[in-house]
Amino acid sequence: MIETRIVVRNNGPYRIEGDNIIITDEAGRPYGLAGRTVVSLCRCGTSATKPFCDGNHNRVGFQSQCEALELPPPKPKP
């Protein structure tokens, strides 16, 4: 894997794939990922291991269908 990719999985987590994944908390402290090249982040809000997915979305029936779209250009800063 060369580039980092984020996949929004329907009815499931955000899946991050890449060789050098770095995830930090709000204070900038990194989570220890133990060299993983694939990590899934919770979207349903019910994971016991937030921000990571623990599969609980299946048990609670989380549903969210997402299709790729184009965002409008950012507004110029004043």
DSSP symbol at 56: H
Give me the pLDDT at residue 57, please.
Answer: 97
Give me the pLDDT at residue 58, please.
Answer: 96
Give me the pLDDT at residue 3, please.
Answer: 87
Where do the structural domains in the chain lie, given as residue ranges? 1-62
pLDDT in tens, the chain (78 residues): 568 999 999 999 999 999 999 999 999 999 999 999 999 999 999 999 999 999 999 999 999 999 999 999 999 998
Read off the tokens for 9.
């999985």
Which pTM was predicted? 0.87
Count CA within 13 A, CB hemisphere, residue 77: 0
- Class of 1-62 per CATH? alpha beta
